[in-house]
Amino acid sequence: MSRLLIFGPGYTARHVAAALAPRGWSITMVGRDGIGDAGAAIAAATHILSTVPPDGDADPVLARHGDALAQAPAGWIGYLSSTGVYGDSGGAWVDESAPIGGGRRTARSAADAAWRALHPETRIFRLPGIYGPGRSALDRVAAGQAHRIALPGQIFSRIHVADIASALVASMDRGPAGIYNIADDLPAPQNAVVEYACALLGRPLPPLLTLGQAGLSPAARAFYAESRRVANGRAKRLLGWRPAFPDYRAGLRALSAITSPASVSSPPAAGSALQR
């Protein structure tokens, strides 16, 4: 039996587990309080996935189990990183060969590098903004929390959570260890995403504000300090993966079909979750 150990039972991890459940996998999820007691689970796992971001300057999973993970018998180890490790590219395309560590996420870059060097079977999945059921521009528009910021030329990549899950499953089925950008095919301005969500919900557009007028949190302001397009060709070539939602329009249309404005819940605050 395939046995998957997941550090961090968060939003993305739950979708990965749901994608594997029909295959009869044994799946163990370990939260913050259980990280220290995961030694036996590491030794028993055929596959290991960490979705846990750094805590301060340290990766809590590596800090507790780095040696055990380096010697783990698992044939597949995955780490969910961030395309934020590339920093600002001025809107240019970045692929997995681009240097990391020059942006605002220095701790994430250090963790990315540490996981990459940990084990010969490690796969690093660098993810842009994640959206999906209960966590999308539709939810922010319905909750009155969406912003349109006047920053011409700013562009971002994003990925539907179901496409993250399918990429990880594809990697478990085939493809070498290494680094993979998991992003959709159409980087786009955040304003375009908000405007399309408003159209789907029949809501008026939020006012167009300057960054100073928007009253954003420091984490949200930092998001707007970078601009990049994320290339996903390596995952397509080596994993045979294709996003089911190749652009934000397809993703939001699918979400709008299952979500009514009255039932939309407020999204979590930026930086509030332990894991992705």
Q: What are the helix (H) ranges across 21-157? A: 39-44, 60-70, 106-118, 137-142
CATH code at position 24: 3.40.50.720
Least confident of 55-59, 213-217, 235-239: 213-217
What pLDDT is attached to residue 261? 45
Q: Is residue 104 part of a domain?
A: yes
Per residue in 153-186, pLDDT tens? Answer: 999 999 999 999 999 999 999 999 999 999 999 9
Give Cα separations from 20 to 76, 238, 276 (angstroms): 15, 20, 18
Per residue in 117-159, pLDDT tens? Answer: 999 999 999 999 999 999 999 999 999 999 999 999 999 999 9
Q: Is residue 209 part of a domain?
A: yes
Q: Provide the residue range defining the domain that includes 180.
A: 3-263
Q: Is residue 269 part of a domain?
A: no
What pLDDT is attached to residue 102? 78
The more confident residue out of 103 and 43 is 43
Least confident of 16-20, 78-82, 101-105, 240-244: 101-105
Q: Is residue 186 part of a domain?
A: yes
Q: Is residue 270 part of a domain?
A: no
Return the sign of the alpha-carbon dihedral for residues 13, 18, 19, 20: positive
Q: Is residue 25 part of a domain?
A: yes
To the nearest 10 degrees (0 to 180), the angle between helices 106-118 and 60-70 is 10
- The percent of residues above 90 in pLDDT, for the chain, comes to 84
What pLDDT is attached to residue 232? 98
What pLDDT is attached to residue 216? 87
Give Cα separations from 9 to 13, 18, 33, 41, 91 (angstroms): 6, 12, 11, 15, 33
What pLDDT is attached to residue 259? 61
Q: If we measure between CA atoms, which residue out of 122, 207, 174, 162 comes closest to residue 17?
A: 162
**pLDDT higher than threshold 80 for residue 262:** no
Output Rg (C-alpha) for the chain, integer angstroms: 19
Q: Is residue 81 part of a domain?
A: yes
CA dist., res. 171 & res. 241, Å (int): 9
CA dist., res. 267 & res. 62, Å (int): 29
Q: How many domains does the chain have?
A: 1
- Which residues does residue 180 pair with via DSSP β-bridges, in sequence order? 125
Q: Is residue 170 part of a domain?
A: yes
Mean pLDDT of 225-230: 95
